[in-house]
Amino acid sequence: MFNYKAVIEFDGTNFLGFQIQPEGLRTVQGEIVKVLSQIFNKETNIVYAGRTDAGVHALNQVINFKCEEELDLYKFKWSLNRMFPDDISVKCIEKASDDFNSRHDAKWREYRYFVVNDEYQNVFLKKYSILVCKKLDLKLMTECTGYFLGEKDFTSFCSPEDDKKSKVRNILEFEIYKSNVFGLNEVLVFRIKANSFLYNMVRIIVGTIIEIGKNVRDISSIDLAFRKSSRDLAGSIAESKGLFLADVGYK
């Protein structure tokens, strides 16, 4: 058996998340598995670095799969991109070690969330960012990022539906900065990197900080939410369309 690692990007707008769901629901994994199984003429599943929710996008999702034949990677990549729907693309593919596992071997994941803080949102950004018209206090929001760094219990900042026993995660890097996107709008980018993430964790953190940036929530509420471990003490969940799985690291 040969093990292959691929980097995938996708537009999550018309997917009900990454992970395969009951028959009839469109997911990214479902589309990938369908094409691989068609090419190899047998059911072929994949392992993936991170599960994304409905409407969330990816710039660099990492998957791996095994097959019985050695592939011509140039031709195989071309075949995948020809057969995949328009909202999925393979960026690169390579042979991996037999024991490589894209999920378990990942050391960190990085997400980015895009916010247009303006009176108007360019039509080409509407699917990939949210619009906040009220002026946000970037200095205050940047101060917020320090509260989240390090190893903490993120019970307050994840969905109650998350069934993981431990809610402890380690945020390695967190910054908020301005970036111009193709001259369309100046966008606020929330870049957050951690060993792994809980269900809706990034979107709840972003929603909380936006409320603080609007001055409708006090920055002290972050510390209280960590101390009390209650979802009710954190902010609202930001829309999924502004969130991207940006990168996955293995070193």
Provide the annotated active-site residues.
53
And the tokens for 223?
């510390």
Inter-CA distances, 202 with 74, 92, 158, 166, 174, Å: 36, 27, 8, 17, 11
And the tokens for 165?
């026993």
Helices 138-148 and 220-228, interaxial angle, to 10°?
Answer: 20
Q: Please choose, from the candidates 56, 48, 154, 60, the residue with its C-alpha nearest in 3D space to the C-alpha of residue 114.
A: 56
CA torsion through residues 30, 36, 41, 43, sign: negative
